[in-house]
């Protein structure tokens, strides 16, 4: 099994529903995202997937969230925009647009330098 990973970031605001504490108030983050994919077969050039393509695909997933109020964007208009839910959402979005034979393995989302949540597929 081969693994690739790329990193990118986006900035957005959100507020947590059903939460008691300062995060129930409107606030923003500069989110950092690490996307890891996996696959069993390499192409004729010896690549699972070109890093530039993987970076472009991750940027496409993040574009909708960048400089936005997450609570207004589906699915976060109904689903609480927690780091955990954002990681799961991005995992699913990547899964829809990756090349055949390449599948998401794990997405990690940092909401601050020291706090992150990950979602991993089975």
Residue 67 among the catalytic residues: yes
CA–CA separation, 108 and 114 (whole Å): 12
- The DSSP bridge pattern shows strands 68-69 and 27-39 to be unpaired
Active site residue 61: no
Of 24, 40, 67, 84, the active-site residue reads: 67
Task: Exactly one of 23, 40, 60, 84 is catalytic; name it.
Answer: 23
Active site residue 23: yes
Label residues 23-50 b or e (16+ Cβ within 10 Å = b): eeeeeebebbbbbbbbbeeeeeeeebbe
Query: Which residues are known catalytic residues?
Result: 23, 67, 113
């Amino acid at each position: 099994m081969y693994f690739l990973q790329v990193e990118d970031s986006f900035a957005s605001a959100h507020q947590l529903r059903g939460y008691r504490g300062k995060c129930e108030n409107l606030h923003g983050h500069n989110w950092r995202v690490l996307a890891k994919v996996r696959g069993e077969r390499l192409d004729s050039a010896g690549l699972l997937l070109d890093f530039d393509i993987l970076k472009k695909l991750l940027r496409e997933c993040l574009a909708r969230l960048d400089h936005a109020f997450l609570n207004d964007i589906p699915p976060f208009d109904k689903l609480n925009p927690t780091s955990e839910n954002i990681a799961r959402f991005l995992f699913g979005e990547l899964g829809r647009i990756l090349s055949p034979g390449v599948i998401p393995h794990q997405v990690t989302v940092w909401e601050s330098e020291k706090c992150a949540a990950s979602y991993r597929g089975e």
